[in-house]
Structure 1
Amino acid sequence: MKLRTLGSGTVGAVALAVGALVMAPPASAVGPATATIQINCGDWGSGQARLDAQQNGSAATITFSTPVVWASHSFPANTIETTLTLSNARGGTVTFKGKANPAWTLLGQPFNSGPLTGTVAPGDVLEAKSLTSTVGTFRVDCTATSLQNPGPFVF
């Protein structure tokens, strides 16, 4: 009798756990989470940039940072409008935009876009192509001169 109670209790707990898994939203992750590219930023020069990506369902963020572009004077946090354009293996482009830069205050401090937001679809394969950042008359245009390493972002 006790064995039967233990058995039905275990079956009930397993059924409840399976039900919870079925009802849970699907986990999504972008891979790789970090990539690098070589960029050309015109008068600022050329070099390496780092891209850090995160995904939550169809919403994604990418942060772009590089020592190629450095602070020539101070910019407060959340003032630099940045657009990152990525090519989509399905065709066309996807843009990530933001105005969430950290304060850029120290002479020579590397550029950091802060999180740029965009919308992705399952299976999107995105590769960084260009970045434009502006605040007032200050403008930076960078173009990718290499493929992403270790590879494109797969959402």
Structure 2
Amino acid sequence: MKHRRLGTGTALLAATAAGALALAPAAAAVEPTTATVSFECGAFGSGSATLTATQNGTAATISLSTSAIKSPFPLSANSVRSTLTLTKNGSGTTTFTGRANPSIPAGGAVSTGPLKGTVAAGDSLEAKSLTVVVFGISATCNATSPQNPGPFVF
């Protein structure tokens, strides 16, 4: 008798767990995951950038690689401090920041990220500007084109 109750309880628990998983919300996803934009960086140059976004709940990251800024000397990993400012929902702004980059050879294009930020469901973000600081020297780039294929929607 005891074994039968234990078996019934275990089956009920398994069914409840399966039902809870079926009703759990789907993992959040950003669309598109990759976009391009053009930047003008004043004396540092201009060029295109590729942005790659990921999302995990309200946490999001954007990695960026751009030909707009080339390093005049070799940079070690994690030596570039970056702030990406994005237009949020067409009117406000939000920032993604970080100090993550691969090693960059002299003359190499700057890559930075993942830059970290916070998002809410339905946020629409489009690159507005990028500030990169290396050894106290700051380069600010402004977007000169809309993001293609469009803003990141979280």
Deviation of 1:44 (Å): 2.1
- Structure-2 residue corresponding to 1:113: 112
Contact 1:90 / 1:124 at 8 angstroms: preserved in 2?
Answer: no
What is the DSSP-based 3-state SS (H/G/I as helix, E as strand, rest coil) of the residue aligned with 1:146?
A: coil
Distance in 1 (alpha carbons) for counterparts of 2:112 and 2:64 = 5
What TM-score do you get using the length of structure 2 for normalisation?
Answer: 0.85
Distance in 1 (alpha carbons) for counterparts of 2:120 and 2:38 = 26
Give structure 1 regions of 4+ aligned residues with deviation exceeding 4 angstroms: 12-16
Deviation of 1:67 (Å): 1.6
Deviation of 1:15 (Å): 6.2
What is the DSSP-based 3-state SS (H/G/I as helix, E as strand, rest coil) of the residue aligned with 1:20?
A: helix
Distance in 2 (alpha carbons) for counterparts of 1:65 and 1:148 = 14
Deviations 1:87-131 (A, max 9, x none): 011531010000011112x22211101200000010000000000
Distance in 1 (alpha carbons) for counterparts of 2:72 and 2:22 = 52
Contact 2:75 / 2:106 at 8 angstroms: preserved in 1?
Answer: no
Contact 1:46 / 1:68 at 8 angstroms: preserved in 2?
Answer: yes
- Structure-2 residue corresponding to 1:8: none
What is the DSSP-based 3-state SS (H/G/I as helix, E as strand, rest coil) of the residue aligned with 1:112?
A: strand
Identity among equivalent pairs (%): 51
What TM-score do you get using the length of structure 1 for normalisation?
Answer: 0.84
Residues 78-93 of structure 1 aligned to structure 2 (within 5 Å): 78-89=78-89, 91-93=91-93
Q: Which amino acid aligns with 1:74?
A: P
Deviation of 1:43 (Å): 1.2
- Structure-2 residue corresponding to 1:46: 46
- Structure-1 residue corresponding to 2:29: 29
Task: Pick closer, same or farther for the CA change 1:141–1:20 going to 2, 3 Å.
Answer: same
| 1:75 correspondence with 2:75 | yes
- How large is the RMSD of aligned CA atoms in angstroms? 2.0
Structure 1 alignment gaps of length 5 or more: 1-11
Aligned residues, how many? 144
What is the DSSP-based 3-state SS (H/G/I as helix, E as strand, rest coil) of the residue aligned with 1:21?
A: helix
Distance in 1 (alpha carbons) for counterparts of 2:57 and 2:150 = 21
Distance in 2 (alpha carbons) for counterparts of 1:90 and 1:59 = 20
